[in-house]
Amino acid sequence: GAVVSQHPSRVICKSGTSVKIECRSLDFQATTMFWYRQFPKQSLMLMATSNEGSKATYEQGVEKDKFLINHASLTLSTLTVTSAHPEDSSFYICSATASGGYNEQFFGPGTRLTVL
Amino acid sequence: AQSVTQPDIHITVSEGASLELRCNYSYGATPYLFWYVQSPGQGLQLLLKYFSGDTLVQGIKGFEAEFKRSQSSFNLRKPSVHWSDAAEYFCAVGAMGGGNKLTFGTGTQLKVEL
Protein backbone atom coordinates (compact mmCIF):
# COMPACT_ATOMS: atom_id res chain seq x y z
CA GLY A 1 0.00 0.00 0.00
CA ALA A 2 0.82 3.71 0.15
CA VAL A 3 1.78 4.15 -3.48
CA VAL A 4 2.26 7.55 -5.05
CA SER A 5 2.54 7.98 -8.79
CA GLN A 6 3.71 10.87 -10.92
CA HIS A 7 3.00 11.63 -14.53
CA PRO A 8 4.83 12.17 -16.74
CA SER A 9 8.13 10.64 -15.69
CA ARG A 10 10.01 12.74 -18.21
CA VAL A 11 9.02 15.81 -20.17
CA ILE A 12 10.89 18.01 -22.61
CA CYS A 13 9.41 21.33 -23.57
CA LYS A 14 10.34 24.53 -25.33
CA SER A 15 11.13 27.69 -23.43
CA GLY A 16 8.01 29.76 -22.79
CA THR A 17 5.57 26.87 -22.66
CA SER A 18 3.77 25.55 -19.60
CA VAL A 19 4.08 22.04 -18.24
CA LYS A 20 1.74 20.20 -15.88
CA ILE A 21 2.92 17.42 -13.59
CA GLU A 22 0.43 15.16 -11.82
CA CYS A 23 0.88 13.50 -8.45
CA ARG A 24 -1.58 10.82 -7.40
CA SER A 25 -1.98 8.77 -4.25
CA LEU A 26 -3.21 5.43 -5.54
CA ASP A 27 -4.40 3.63 -2.44
CA PHE A 28 -4.95 6.21 0.27
CA GLN A 29 -6.43 9.63 0.73
CA ALA A 30 -3.76 12.28 0.86
CA THR A 31 -4.86 15.29 2.83
CA THR A 32 -1.46 16.87 2.33
CA MET A 33 0.90 16.72 -0.60
CA PHE A 34 4.35 18.21 -0.91
CA TRP A 35 6.31 19.29 -3.94
CA TYR A 36 10.08 19.16 -3.98
CA ARG A 37 12.72 20.18 -6.43
CA GLN A 38 16.04 18.41 -6.72
CA PHE A 39 19.02 19.67 -8.69
CA PRO A 40 21.63 17.17 -9.87
CA LYS A 41 23.56 15.63 -7.01
CA GLN A 42 21.80 17.83 -4.48
CA SER A 43 19.22 17.36 -1.79
CA LEU A 44 15.49 17.85 -2.00
CA MET A 45 14.25 21.36 -1.50
CA LEU A 46 10.66 21.78 -0.43
CA MET A 47 8.80 24.08 -2.79
CA ALA A 48 5.30 24.03 -1.39
CA THR A 49 2.78 22.24 0.76
CA SER A 50 -0.72 21.70 -0.51
CA ASN A 51 -3.77 20.66 1.46
CA GLU A 52 -6.84 19.38 -0.28
CA GLY A 53 -9.26 22.18 -1.00
CA SER A 54 -6.91 24.92 0.18
CA LYS A 55 -4.38 27.19 -1.40
CA ALA A 56 -0.85 25.89 -1.38
CA THR A 57 1.71 27.26 1.05
CA TYR A 58 4.94 28.14 -0.71
CA GLU A 59 8.40 28.14 0.80
CA GLN A 60 10.38 31.33 0.85
CA GLY A 61 11.88 32.13 -2.51
CA VAL A 62 9.49 30.00 -4.55
CA GLU A 63 7.46 31.98 -7.07
CA LYS A 64 3.84 30.99 -6.62
CA ASP A 65 2.82 32.53 -9.95
CA LYS A 66 5.39 30.44 -11.74
CA PHE A 67 4.77 27.17 -9.94
CA LEU A 68 1.01 26.75 -9.75
CA ILE A 69 -0.17 24.03 -7.42
CA ASN A 70 -3.67 22.62 -7.31
CA HIS A 71 -4.89 19.97 -4.87
CA ALA A 72 -8.46 19.52 -6.03
CA SER A 73 -9.09 16.07 -4.60
CA LEU A 74 -7.77 13.76 -1.90
CA THR A 75 -5.86 11.74 -4.46
CA LEU A 76 -4.55 14.31 -6.93
CA SER A 77 -2.28 17.31 -6.85
CA THR A 78 -0.85 19.06 -9.87
CA LEU A 79 2.16 21.29 -10.34
CA THR A 80 2.16 23.55 -13.37
CA VAL A 81 5.39 25.22 -14.36
CA THR A 82 4.28 28.29 -16.26
CA SER A 83 6.35 29.95 -18.97
CA ALA A 84 9.14 27.50 -18.37
CA HIS A 85 12.75 28.50 -18.93
CA PRO A 86 15.93 26.43 -19.05
CA GLU A 87 16.71 27.26 -15.42
CA ASP A 88 13.48 25.48 -14.45
CA SER A 89 14.97 22.22 -15.70
CA SER A 90 15.13 19.93 -12.70
CA PHE A 91 13.83 16.78 -11.07
CA TYR A 92 10.48 17.38 -9.40
CA ILE A 93 9.29 14.99 -6.72
CA CYS A 94 5.97 14.92 -4.94
CA SER A 95 5.02 13.22 -1.72
CA ALA A 96 1.76 12.57 0.03
CA THR A 97 0.67 12.00 3.56
CA ALA A 98 -2.60 10.93 5.14
CA SER A 99 -4.45 12.74 7.87
CA GLY A 100 -4.08 12.50 11.61
CA GLY A 101 -1.08 13.13 13.80
CA TYR A 102 2.37 13.00 12.32
CA ASN A 103 2.45 10.83 9.27
CA GLU A 104 5.11 9.44 7.04
CA GLN A 105 5.44 10.98 3.61
CA PHE A 106 5.21 8.62 0.66
CA PHE A 107 7.19 9.75 -2.34
CA GLY A 108 6.45 9.59 -6.01
CA PRO A 109 9.07 8.42 -8.53
CA GLY A 110 9.79 11.96 -9.73
CA THR A 111 9.47 13.86 -13.00
CA ARG A 112 12.49 14.97 -15.01
CA LEU A 113 11.74 18.31 -16.67
CA THR A 114 14.02 19.57 -19.42
CA VAL A 115 13.35 22.99 -20.88
CA LEU A 116 15.08 23.69 -24.18
CA ALA B 1 13.91 25.55 12.77
CA GLN B 2 15.24 22.09 12.35
CA SER B 3 18.31 21.20 10.31
CA VAL B 4 20.17 18.07 9.27
CA THR B 5 23.84 17.54 8.60
CA GLN B 6 25.29 14.61 6.72
CA PRO B 7 29.05 15.16 7.00
CA ASP B 8 30.07 12.62 4.39
CA ILE B 9 29.32 13.55 0.79
CA HIS B 10 30.81 10.35 -0.63
CA ILE B 11 31.60 7.01 0.95
CA THR B 12 33.16 3.98 -0.72
CA VAL B 13 33.07 0.55 0.87
CA SER B 14 33.90 -2.93 -0.31
CA GLU B 15 31.11 -5.40 -0.78
CA GLY B 16 30.65 -7.38 2.41
CA ALA B 17 32.13 -4.66 4.60
CA SER B 18 30.16 -2.86 7.27
CA LEU B 19 28.70 0.56 6.71
CA GLU B 20 27.88 3.57 8.85
CA LEU B 21 26.42 6.77 7.44
CA ARG B 22 26.38 9.73 9.76
CA CYS B 23 23.50 12.07 10.41
CA ASN B 24 23.30 14.89 12.93
CA TYR B 25 20.22 16.94 13.50
CA SER B 26 19.31 20.16 15.21
CA TYR B 27 15.89 20.48 16.79
CA GLY B 28 14.65 21.75 20.12
CA ALA B 29 12.33 18.89 20.98
CA THR B 30 12.18 15.20 20.20
CA PRO B 31 12.42 14.93 16.44
CA TYR B 32 10.96 12.48 14.01
CA LEU B 33 13.87 11.01 12.06
CA PHE B 34 14.00 9.23 8.75
CA TRP B 35 16.46 7.62 6.39
CA TYR B 36 15.63 7.44 2.70
CA VAL B 37 17.47 5.88 -0.22
CA GLN B 38 17.38 7.15 -3.77
CA SER B 39 18.62 5.34 -6.85
CA PRO B 40 19.57 7.46 -9.89
CA GLY B 41 16.56 9.08 -11.52
CA GLN B 42 14.19 7.60 -8.97
CA GLY B 43 12.09 8.82 -6.11
CA LEU B 44 12.81 8.17 -2.45
CA GLN B 45 12.29 4.91 -0.62
CA LEU B 46 11.94 4.89 3.15
CA LEU B 47 14.50 2.70 4.86
CA LEU B 48 13.45 3.33 8.45
CA LYS B 49 12.03 5.90 10.80
CA TYR B 50 12.17 6.87 14.44
CA PHE B 51 9.22 8.46 16.19
CA SER B 52 9.62 7.29 19.80
CA GLY B 53 10.40 4.24 21.89
CA ASP B 54 13.34 1.93 21.29
CA THR B 55 16.25 4.02 20.09
CA LEU B 56 17.59 1.22 17.87
CA VAL B 57 15.39 1.04 14.81
CA GLN B 58 15.34 -1.78 12.31
CA GLY B 59 14.54 -1.07 8.70
CA ILE B 60 14.30 -2.74 5.35
CA LYS B 61 17.17 -4.29 3.41
CA GLY B 62 19.09 -5.09 6.60
CA PHE B 63 19.59 -1.47 7.66
CA GLU B 64 19.33 -0.17 11.20
CA ALA B 65 19.79 3.20 12.84
CA GLU B 66 20.31 4.35 16.40
CA PHE B 67 18.88 7.53 17.85
CA LYS B 68 21.29 9.13 20.32
CA ARG B 69 19.74 12.16 21.89
CA SER B 70 22.93 13.16 23.73
CA GLN B 71 24.79 13.34 20.43
CA SER B 72 21.89 14.59 18.31
CA SER B 73 22.66 11.78 15.93
CA PHE B 74 20.77 9.17 13.95
CA ASN B 75 23.44 7.15 12.17
CA LEU B 76 22.54 4.47 9.65
CA ARG B 77 24.32 1.12 9.76
CA LYS B 78 24.47 -2.11 7.86
CA PRO B 79 26.70 -5.01 8.88
CA SER B 80 27.42 -6.28 5.37
CA VAL B 81 26.96 -4.13 2.30
CA HIS B 82 25.74 -5.53 -1.02
CA TRP B 83 26.62 -4.08 -4.42
CA SER B 84 22.94 -3.20 -4.89
CA ASP B 85 23.15 -0.82 -1.91
CA ALA B 86 25.03 1.71 -4.03
CA ALA B 87 22.78 4.78 -4.08
CA GLU B 88 22.22 8.17 -2.50
CA TYR B 89 21.13 8.18 1.13
CA PHE B 90 19.24 11.03 2.75
CA CYS B 91 18.60 11.66 6.41
CA ALA B 92 15.55 13.79 7.20
CA VAL B 93 13.98 15.33 10.28
CA GLY B 94 10.39 16.27 10.90
CA ALA B 95 8.57 17.82 13.81
CA MET B 96 5.14 17.53 15.36
CA GLY B 97 3.32 20.75 14.72
CA GLY B 98 5.45 21.33 11.67
CA GLY B 99 2.71 20.29 9.28
CA ASN B 100 4.47 17.02 8.50
CA LYS B 101 7.25 18.96 6.81
CA LEU B 102 10.59 17.27 6.35
CA THR B 103 14.02 18.85 6.27
CA PHE B 104 16.56 16.82 4.36
CA GLY B 105 20.29 16.54 4.71
CA THR B 106 22.50 17.01 1.69
CA GLY B 107 22.84 13.29 1.15
CA THR B 108 25.65 10.74 1.12
CA GLN B 109 26.58 8.99 -2.10
CA LEU B 110 27.50 5.38 -1.41
CA LYS B 111 29.74 3.51 -3.80
CA VAL B 112 30.29 -0.22 -3.36
CA GLU B 113 33.45 -1.81 -4.70
CA LEU B 114 33.25 -5.42 -5.79
What per-residue confidence (pLDDT) applies to A100?
Answer: 59
Position B96 scores a pLDDT of: 65
Q: Summarize pLDDT for B25-84 with one digit per residue, the tens.
A: 998 777 899 999 999 888 899 999 998 889 999 999 999 999 999 999 999 999 999 999
pLDDT of A22 higher than 90:
yes
Subunit contact A97:B41, Cβ cutoff 8 A? no
Residue of A18, A6, A29 whose CA lies nearest to A84: A18
**Chain B contact for A44, CB < 8 A?**
yes
Average pLDDT over residues A25-35: 90
Instruction: Say yes or no: A90 contacts chain B, CB-CB below 8 A.
Output: no
Nearest CA in chain A to B109: A41
State the average pLDDT over residues B88-103. 82
Q: Using CA atoms in the order A63, A94, B60, A101, what is the torsion angle rounded to 10 degrees?
A: 80
Yes or no, beta carbons of B49 and A42 under 8 Å apart: no
Lowest mean pLDDT among A6-15, A96-105, B38-47: A96-105
Instruction: Provide the number of CB pairs (under 8 Å) joining chain A to chain B.
Output: 52
Is the CB of residue B29 less than 8 Å from the CB of residue A93? no
Taking the C-alpha atoms of residue B49 and residue B32, their distance in angstroms, rounded to an integer, is 7
- Is A102 close to B109, i.e. CB distance below 8 A? no
Predicted pLDDT of residue B87: 96
**Mean pLDDT value of segment A77-98:** 94
